[in-house]
Chains A and B, each alone.
Chain A
Amino acid sequence: MTTPMTMSAISDETFRSLTAAAPEIRPFWEAARRGKLLLAHCTACDRPHWFPRVVCPLCSSRDIEWREASGRGTVYSVSVARRATPPYALAYVTLDEGPTMLTNIVDCDVDGIVIGQKVKVVFMERADALPAPMFTPL
């Protein structure tokens, strides 16, 4: 089993500091602190993209809004780092909404993860980092 490094939540001060480089993405991280996965969704072409940005990479529109994702997805590919202690699973997960994101598969036996496996989002809470969305088998 992979366990989170720490369960202590990030402070407001650290949160502001770590989101200062890209203030326009702050709503994503604020939602992540509440356990919600947001997608940047273009209302012009009606498609979400990943990673979030202010110009749609699919149609160039600036009509982007945040929408909450289902948090469900499918493993596109996975590779377990065997030299790390403990080994960890680097993965691409294709969200049910369409985009594929780089992530980790956690809270499971890393030897059992397969391409095509259904997964759901979990957020790793850390005091010294933003709450990154990761996934665990359904």
Chain B
Amino acid sequence: MHLPSAYVTGAFEHPTRHAPDKSIAQLHAECALGAVADAGLSLGDIDGYFCAGDTPGASPLYMADYLNLKLRWLDGTESGGCSYLMHVAHAAAAIAAGQCNVALITLSGRPRSEGQATGTAPRAGNSSQADEPFETPYRPTIAGMYGMFARRHMHEFGTTAEQLAWVKVSASRHAQHNANALLRNVVTVEDVLASPVVCDGIRRLDCCVITDGGGAAILTRPEIARSLKRPLVRVAGTGHTMHTQGGGYVDAVRTGAAASGAAAFAEAGVTPQDIKYASVYDNFTIMVVMQLEDLGFCPKGQGGRFVAEGNLISGVGRLPWNTDGGGLCNNHPANRGGMTKLIEAVRQLRGEAHPAVQVKNCDIALAAGPGRVVGSGHGHATAVLVRE
């Protein structure tokens, strides 16, 4: 049975990158208002609410009360940064099942104001997680974990630091056109290689930014979407997965993108060659390379060569990518990527990206990203969106 589709009718990225004078609840509220305004709806129209661990109370109950939402459907799925792409799938399923008509997804946080050393402070353990005593003693940092993946990828496939630098170069070329981006200066491969090593395998310019802010999206039933004045962006296919540590049989050069991507492509009835624009999560340059391979945009092990050919640069390469500047240059609110990936894909499909990076005739786009840490076990979600 083919279920009725859901449409992304509202998308809003908070313009702030530094918000010391705002609470996390205020940021969620401002994002919610921005998304309903973008859709041409009001908060009173929302009957489904989706949020994750960044929200106050780590539950949909608290922001629903703050905004006095009248809900029929609540979803607090927490899977790190890919939660919001999972929420797209869950909202589409809830809409198809008649459980809600207008779904709101929000993300917000202020790690910049709170002075978080996101990538370089050892991760805090949670004693109820059975792997905690087997991780915390070794002081794993996010940068250190991805440094190991980068070095293993280099070891297995001959990937080079120069190739990885092209990911940052591509992001910076896009970010120069984004007035809200935290980093708008165009950088070169030499700039990236000259930046200091944080952990072996990761230089400073291989890392994403730390920003306050957030974003929100609205999904609706088809008939509501058609009644609104926005371009029609349909959720054509979704996939998500959990890429486990494999009981200790670790493969640190592969990600959950292989499974979530295949599922999303299959449901949408498209192949990687059909994708006109891709938002792919970019906490570190190596993560982009691994996901591009696993999503099928190039053969496994060839991601370094693919990005070094300039393929990610809009107007230049085969796969225009993260045209807002991505997490590497634009925005990484709450240390999470899924929402901003969705928002730029919607902009591209609507033709509302910056003219300098807008993809011509962009009718099929992808948004993909992981949650938690690759190697240490991570979720992954992919959504394929089409413009009608």
CB atoms of A98 and B137 under 8 A apart: no
Using CB atoms, name the residue of chain B closest to A79.
B147
Tell me if A77 counts as interface (CB < 8 A to partner B).
yes
Total number of residue pairs linking A and B with CB closer than 8 Å: 112
How many residues of chain A have a CB within 8 Å of chain B? 38
Whole-angstrom CA separation of A88 from B250 in the bound complex = 22
Tell me if A100 counts as interface (CB < 8 A to partner B).
yes
Q: Which of A79, A88, A99 has the most CB of B within 10 A?
A: A79
CB atoms of B252 and A51 under 8 A apart: no
CB atoms of B137 and A100 under 8 A apart: no
CB atoms of B250 and A100 under 8 A apart: yes
Q: Which residues of B are found within 8 Å of A56, using beta-carbon distances?
A: 247
A interface footprint on B279-301 (CB within 8 Å = 1, 0 otherwise): 00000000000000000000000
CB atoms of A82 and B199 under 8 A apart: yes
Tell me if B202 counts as interface (CB < 8 A to partner A).
yes
A15 shortest CB reach to chain B, Å:
12
Q: Which residues of A are found within 8 Å of B199, using beta-carbon distances?
A: 79-83, 90
CB atoms of B131 and A51 under 8 A apart: yes
- Interface residues of B toward A: which range? 35 or more
Q: Which residues of B are found within 8 Å of A104, using beta-carbon distances?
A: 137-139
B139, B143, B248: the one within 8 Å of A101 (CB)? B248
Q: Which of A58, A83, A130 has the most CB of B within 10 A?
A: A83
CB atoms of B149 and A102 under 8 A apart: no
Whole-angstrom CA separation of A76 from B156 in the bound complex = 11
Which residues in chain B, 123-161, are within 8 Å of chain A measured between CB atoms?
127-128, 130-131, 133-135, 137-141, 143-145, 147-152, 155
B301 shortest CB reach to chain A, Å:
16
Q: Which residues of A are found within 8 Å of B155, using beta-carbon distances?
A: 77, 115
Tell me if A25 counts as interface (CB < 8 A to partner B).
yes
Whole-angstrom CA separation of A134 from B244 in the bound complex = 23
CB atoms of A77 and B149 under 8 A apart: yes
Whole-angstrom CA separation of A78 from B202 in the bound complex = 12
Tell me if A119 counts as interface (CB < 8 A to partner B).
no
Tell me if A7 counts as interface (CB < 8 A to partner B).
no
CB atoms of A51 and B248 under 8 A apart: yes
Q: Which residues of B are found within 8 Å of A129, using beta-carbon distances?
A: 137
CB atoms of A99 and B247 under 8 A apart: yes
A57, A90, A99: the one within 8 Å of B139 (CB)? A90
Tell me if A36 counts as interface (CB < 8 A to partner B).
no
CB atoms of B152 and A76 under 8 A apart: yes
Q: Which of A49, A76, A82, A129 has the most CB of B within 10 A?
A: A82
CB atoms of A79 and B133 under 8 A apart: no
B interface footprint on A105-138 (CB within 8 Å = 1, 0 otherwise): 0000000000100000000100001101010000
If A22-B133, A50-B247, A77-B252 are given as contacts, then 15 extra A-B residue pairs at C-beta distance below 8 Å, sorted by A number, are A18-B133, A49-B248, A50-B134, A79-B147, A79-B199, A79-B202, A81-B120, A81-B144, A84-B139, A88-B139, A100-B250, A101-B248, A104-B138, A104-B139, A134-B138
The 7 closest A-B pairs by CB, nearest first: A50-B248, A99-B248, A79-B147, A57-B247, A132-B137, A77-B148, A49-B247
